[in-house]
Amino acid sequence: MSVLELDQVSVDYGRTRVLDRISLTVRAGEVVGIVGESGSGKTTLARTVLGAIAPAEGRVQVAGHDVTRLRGRALRSWRRSGAAQYVFQDPLRSLDPGLPVAESIIEGLRIARVGVDETRRRTDAALNAVGLDHDLIRRLPSGLSGGQRQRAAIARALVVEPRLLVLDEPVSALDAASRDRVVQALIALRDRRGSELAMLVISHDIGSLAAMSDRLVVLGQGDIVEDGSTRRVIAEPQHPYTRLLIDSVPLIHTPSANRP
């Protein structure tokens, strides 16, 4: 079953076309990596999926809702439903620096008036999913490492039980050790949540995407130049731009053999 569908989506910034007739489907349980250099349209794609940018043409459907037709109150209601959640590159943009991390994590549940017991259950499940110690969320964000803050931001997105999780450069601002922990947390989340969740992971780091994604979509100058299983794209890239991206990474670990 498809969680995300983009059908011939184009986005213009003034007279400049940033996305050009993009079509993409992400199924439940699938992790799709979007890779491309800076300026290729990756973040614009993410914001269009979430309804923050209205496309010039085409249609975006998330969990059965045509996001391109939503306006005003209907768009706000859809966003508050939690069907799609966004994880920023910088977790401090989603974690209030003046509040304990726990308060930021459960904010969406309070808005939805979720009960205390259910809030506790969902929070425990989200923290376990990203491998974050429960004691850490009593601290302010400044008391956590970069990797811990990013995992807390992912937990914040997970507590509302989204159908689609969009992660925009989730490891690019982290040091090597923190990057590895976040990548491992996302791999564990992929394996644990399975058919419950679809993930769209946007990055210029093809090495990290190779470790966690089922499919790679290569975006170049606003157009999809290659789309296929991660293993196939890494081993047998068809487009010169894809080969250039792969050649720039010294060592790439592909997903485990038990994933298609």
Q: What are the residue boundaries of the structural domains of the chain, listed by start? A: 2-83+162-247
CA 240 to chain centre: 26
pLDDT of the residue at 94? 76
pLDDT of the residue at 235? 92
pLDDT of the residue at 253? 53
What's the token pair of residue 181? 């922990």
pLDDT of the residue at 252? 55
Q: Name which CATH class applies to 2-83+162-247.
A: alpha beta
pLDDT of the residue at 71? 85
- What span, in angstroms and rounded, lies between the C-alpha atoms of 243 and 88? 28
pLDDT of the residue at 258? 44
Cβ neighbours of residue 110 closer than 8 Å, sequence gap 6 or more: 119
pLDDT of the residue at 257? 40
- What span, in angstroms and rounded, lies between the C-alpha atoms of 132 and 137? 8
| Phi, psi at 159, each rounded to 5° | -65, -25
- What span, in angstroms and rounded, lies between the C-alpha atoms of 139 and 253? 34
Question: Per-block average pLDDT, block size 10, for the chain (260 residues)?
Answer: 94 94 94 90 92 94 90 85 87 86 93 92 91 92 91 92 91 80 83 80 87 92 94 94 84 50
- What span, in angstroms and rounded, lies between the C-alpha atoms of 217 and 223? 10
